[in-house]
Amino acid sequence: MSMYIETYDADVVSVHPAPCPICGPTSREPYESEPTVDLLEDQSATRGSSVTLGVSYHSTSPVTITWSVDGTVIARQADRISHGQTQLTIRRFDNKHHRKRFSVEVVDRRGRRQGTSCILTMRYC
């Protein structure tokens, strides 16, 4: 049996307690679950407005976060921490973004992926 402890610099360490007197020593790998990501929701915005897309994520190991628009990578962030929030801000939404699919993907150190996407459309007043 092992436990994860987060240190102040966000490194994850494994701590092995003394062997159980009944079961004896164990040799299992520490359990690492797949990353989880909250869902992005479809949005609409007026021309010239600022739009922020954001999600919360969690993983038991450090992750890399990738933002894409219509399948083209626009931002990549190698993150040492295993949980938190990530945001993408579009400072000026205009005609070139009439209707686009924005997506975010979280990949842990074992290559396990979780992602979500949304459609951002132009709203005409």
Tell me whether residue 9 is in a domain. Answer: no
- Could you tell me the pLDDT band of residue 22, with boundaries at 50, 70 and 90? low
- Most confident among 10-14, 77-81, 111-115 (mean pLDDT): 111-115
Q: Is residue 103 part of a domain?
A: yes
Establish if 15 belongs to a structural domain.
Answer: no
Helix (H) or strand (E) holding 90: strand 83-90
Q: How many domains, in total, are found in the chain?
A: 1
Within a domain: residue 57? Answer: yes
The reported pLDDT for the residue numbered 80 is 63
- Domain residues for 65? 32-122
Q: Residue 97 domain-assigned? A: yes
Tell me the mean pLDDT in the region 38-53.
Answer: 90
Which residue type, as a one-letter code, is found at position 18? A
What per-residue confidence (pLDDT) applies to 124?
A: 76
Q: Mean per-residue pLDDT for 31-46?
A: 87
Give the mean model confidence (pLDDT) for residues 58-85: 86
